[in-house]
Amino acid sequence: PKDSKLGELKVKNIETGEITNISVSALFIAIGVEPQSELAKNAGIELDKDNNIKVDKNQETKFPGIYAAGDVTGGIRQVTTATGEGTTAAMNAYLFIKQGWYGEGKSK
């Protein structure tokens, strides 16, 4: 579109080398959609059918004191979502450590 700030985008097919021009008015960059959960899987942490790490509302896995956040837990894959989940995980990890490894006084 003429009123677009971006205008036209050149896209190169990495397999064929073909270049295509696409008219755009907005651009959203994504780095991938498959969670990198192999380490969690190898540690015995439960994954869902899409290989996302299963967590509760505190971002904790079924292993006490083990937390996950961001794209690897599924949901909306956005920086703001990952930041919020990371904050939740960090605060709950802090409380877990502060209350002792066996969770004295911890309530879910």
CATH assignment of the domain containing 50: 3.50.50.60
Mean pLDDT (whole number) for 39-64: 96
Is 64 exposed, middle or buried (CB count within 10 Å of its CB: 0-12, 13-18, 19+)?
Answer: exposed
- At 31, the pLDDT band (50, 70, 90 cuts) reads low
> Tell me, what's the pLDDT at 40?
95
| CA-closest candidate to residue 82, choices 50, 26, 41, 35 | 35
- Structural domain count of the chain: 2
Q: Distance between alpha carbon 76 and the CA centroid of its chain, in Å?
A: 8
Mean pLDDT (whole number) for 23-52: 87
Indicate if 26 and 43 belong to the same structural domain. no
Residue at 44 is within a domain = yes
Instruction: Name the residue with higher pLDDT: 35 or 72.
Output: 72
Indicate if 42 and 66 belong to the same structural domain. yes
Domain span including residue 53: 38-98
Instruction: Name the residue with higher pLDDT: 106 or 98.
Output: 98
pTM of the model: 0.65
